[in-house]
Structure 1
Amino acid sequence: MSTTRYRFRTRWWLPADQRTVFAALTDLADYPRWWPDVRSVRHLDEDAADVRVRSTLPFTLALVLRRREQDERTGRLVVRIGGDLCGVLRAEVVPDGLGTRVDFDQEVEVASRLLRVLSPWLRPALRLNHAAMTRRGRRGLARRLAGDRSGHPRDACR
């Protein structure tokens, strides 16, 4: 097994309708307002953005996210990832009871030279870092969808 390849599966449940959740997930420019680990988003063109991400560990990932599929009707999103990580993110956004379930499946390989060297030793920490980041993302989006626009999530205690 490669120590530089990762697969993450994450499930979010959000108390909002599917259309609203799908719209929020496809609006990358808004991510820094509700997801504290997404530090910046700069659109490169209609389908791509340069995104800077920093979670608990003391390094920032520079990613290029390129939309490959976006189908609101089926709730399917597919994004190619480049930069410090290379791979793909797939998401399925579907109605679930009184809210919406989002299933994320992310397969990436570390491309950053430093992280490739450190990955065999940092693997457990990198997995925990990803889990913490996704928890904060779900909480931030839930607050955003509930109408809490009072402050930036980085301003609040975690």
Structure 2
Amino acid sequence: MGANEYCMPTEWRIKGDIREVYDVCSNFKDYQRWWPDVYLDIQTAGTDRETGNEVYAILSKGKLPYKLRWRSCKTAENAPYSLSLKASGDLAGHGTWKFEQDGEYVNVRFDWYVNAERLLLKLLSPVLKPIFRSNHYWAMEKGLESLERELIRRRGAAAG
């Protein structure tokens, strides 16, 4: 694995229904609203030539004081069980979300395989890779917290 290559799996376990969790995680455009600690701006940016799917221009951040500009689109979808995407820009690679109902919980796994292409990150990866990985996991921890809040919000809206 190259110095700027990252393989970062994340596992979440969240109380809920697979469909409701999938619906939140599969709607990239809405990440900015429910996962605001990480997703600062998401705009539609045309259609992907390979897949025909909507492309999103994303501005994101972690705990560290830098921002990433990248594009993403879905590459495969098997609702509500899996969703794959590709990324280009400051982060280039692919990821897959997997969802599995386990009683009253949903097991969620996100496998993220990316290269840090932003010049500063690329140059510093040989030395700071553990810190950059930690930054990703901080962002994913914020994602789980935000997803839990979003599910509570949706359930309240449905009940009200």
Q: TM-score when scaled to structure 2?
A: 0.87
Report which stretch shifted further, 38-47 or 76-85.
38-47
2:57 corresponds to which residue? 50
1:152 corresponds to which residue? none
2:138 corresponds to which residue? 132
Give how far 1:113 is off.
Answer: 1.4
Mapped to 2, the partners of 1:69 and 1:128 lie a distance apart of 28
Superposed CA RMSD: 1.7
Q: 1:69 aligns with which of 61, 69, 76?
A: 76
Q: For residues 116-146 of structure 1, give each alpha carbon's deviation from its aligned partner in whole angstroms, at most 9, with x where no partner exists.
A: 1111121111011011110000010111101
For residues 1-158 of structure 1, the aligned pairs below 5 Å read 1-35=1-35, 36-45=37-46, 46-73=53-80, 75-147=81-153
Mapped to 2, the partners of 1:51 and 1:93 lie a distance apart of 24
What count of residue pairs does the alignment treat as equivalent?
Answer: 149
Q: Percent identical across equivalent pairs?
A: 28
Q: Following superposition, which runs of at least 4 residues in structure 1 exceed 3 angstroms of deviation? A: none
Mapped to 2, the partners of 1:4 and 1:11 lie a distance apart of 23
Structure 2 counterpart of 1:66, which letter? C
Q: Identify unmatched segments of 5+ residues in structure 2.
A: 47-52, 156-160
Mapped to 2, the partners of 1:66 and 1:144 lie a distance apart of 22
Secondary structure, aligned partner of 2:56 = strand
Q: Identify unmatched segments of 5+ residues in structure 1.
A: 150-158
Structure 1 counterpart of 2:137, which letter? A
Q: TM-score when scaled to structure 1?
A: 0.88
Mapped to 1, the partners of 2:109 and 2:92 lie a distance apart of 20
